[in-house]
């Protein structure tokens, strides 16, 4: 199970795993042993075992200026 401080919701887990999977597909070496060769599963295993952590950044808010 993922530490609750790292996981805000399932969506953030999916985004973190997807980003890591893209890194693996681009040539980044795996950080642990996985039973799968698929980048998505390897990324999930790395997160589950605490090898990879991620931070969900708050969304940027648009600055709206009043009309003159």
pLDDT band at 22 (very low <50, low <70, confident <90, very high): very high
Write out the residue range of the structural domain in which residue 49 sits.
1-58
Residue 66 domain-assigned (yes or no)? no
How many Cα atoms occupy the beta-carbon half-sphere of 38 within 13 Å? 5
Residue 65 domain-assigned (yes or no)? no
pLDDT at residue 9 tops 90:
no
What is the number of structural domains in the chain? 1
Residue 67 domain-assigned (yes or no)? no
Question: The domain that contains 38 carries what CATH number?
Answer: 3.90.940
In order of 1, 4, 5, 16, 21, the CA distances from 54 in angstroms are: 15, 12, 10, 6, 13
- pTM of the model as a whole: 0.67
Q: Which pLDDT does position 41 carry in this prediction?
A: 93
Residue 37 domain-assigned (yes or no)? yes
Find the mean pLDDT for residues 1-30: 78
List the single range of 2-11, 27-36, 42-51 with lowest mean pLDDT: 2-11
Residue 41 domain-assigned (yes or no)? yes
């Amino acid at each position: 199970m993922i530490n609750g401080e790292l996981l805000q919701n399932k969506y953030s887990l999916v985004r973190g795993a997807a980003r890591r999977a893209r890194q693996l597909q681009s040539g980044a070496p795996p950080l642990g042993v996985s039973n799968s060769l698929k980048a998505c599963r390897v990324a999930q295993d790395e997160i589950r075992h605490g090898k990879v952590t991620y931070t969900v950044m708050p969304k940027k808010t648009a600055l709206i200026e009043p009309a003159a």
